[in-house]
Amino acid sequence: MKALHIVESAYRATLEEQDDTIVWLTQAMRGAGATVDLLLRGNAVNYAVRGQDARGLEFGAWKQTEPPRIERDLASLIAKGGNVYALGEDLEQRGIDSPALLEGVRPLRMPMLPALLAGYERVWHW
């Protein structure tokens, strides 16, 4: 069985969780033997942009030493054979062009979605 996680809710508690919870879930499920890929849409397409830096969170003497590194997490997912897609129209709407994208992220136009979705037995929208 193949499954596709569609991630639309973006940067929800990423500072608290030190990752995106669904990107993490995707990695953990793949680690357990699942065939799961990722499609970024809406604000979540920004996860695919290079050079993000979430360092600097601190309260009094407490400092967050391990901030979220979503770019690294996506790169790791891709390096391990996972497919990461990003919706082209949502990238354009946010002024994100291809050179800004992390290597291996595959932009996908809306008309191509039905064919992509047809390749998965389960599609889960987060």
In the complex, which residues of this chain contact other proteins (CB under 8 A)? 1, 3, 9, 12-13, 21-22, 25, 28-29, 31-34, 36, 122, 124-126
Which of 36, 40 has the CB closer to other proteins?
Answer: 36
- What radius of gyration, in Å, describes the C-alpha atoms of the chain? 15
Could you count the other beta carbons within 10 Å of the beta carbon of residue 78?
Answer: 17
| Token duo for residue 44 | 């979540």
**CB of 101 vs other proteins, minimal distance in Å:** 23
Return the SS3 of 62: strand
Amino acid letter, residue 58: E
CA pair distance 35, 6, nearest whole angstrom: 14
CA pair distance 66, 12, nearest whole angstrom: 17
Q: Which residue has the tokens 């008309």?
A: 111
**CB of 89 vs other proteins, minimal distance in Å:** 20
